[in-house]
Structure 1
Amino acid sequence: MSDSRTSPRLAVAWRAAIQIAAGRIVPAKIVNFSAAGIQIQTSVMLREKQTYPMMMEIPSHNDASARTQVVCKGTCQYTILSGNEYRAGIKCTDLPPQHQELLESWGG
């Protein structure tokens, strides 16, 4: 089976958090990352086409214990039930320019 995506995906296990409503933040796990977006795993179903404030913890290539919290917005492209949790494709926007080099080092 071929993958027709425009950007290759990198399997990762990074922490994230999504604000799903005012005062309600839920943890998430980024399971893959690419220049086009991320796929997250979370306990709540995200609404397609909804934009959420979020945070990703991205490790340094040189030192996995050195993590940078990147605050951005994410628009849900799709969501599917996978076992007991949901997986959602997220297109990230409003990424801080100071984190661009770190994201590009991972292919983003």
Structure 2
Amino acid sequence: MDVNAKNYRWSESRSKVCQMCDMEEDKTVEHVVLECVKYARDGNEMMQVVLRELGNARVEMTGREWLVLLLGLCGDTNDRMIKAAKEFLEEMWHARHMNQ
């Protein structure tokens, strides 16, 4: 798994405060997908699918490694995982726009 991916920001603003959870977190894609409490319910649903697909084994990965898996950037990702990640991103995008 390539974990040397660029640390992408979620927005172009210079603010490090997440507009959804108001935490002074660096607004990276990792924060939005894996850490932001406003998206936790949908994120948990996505992770349940992913963990089932991984055989419910205890999986210890860094946030960056999870993103590589969830975004289909490695050979371990299957169609069900991609679908769950896509559904999460659609729900997250909808929630983000309702908050503005």
TM over 0.5: no
TM-score (norm 1): 0.24
TM-score (norm 2): 0.25
Task: From the two aligned structures, give the one with the greater helix fraction.
Answer: 2
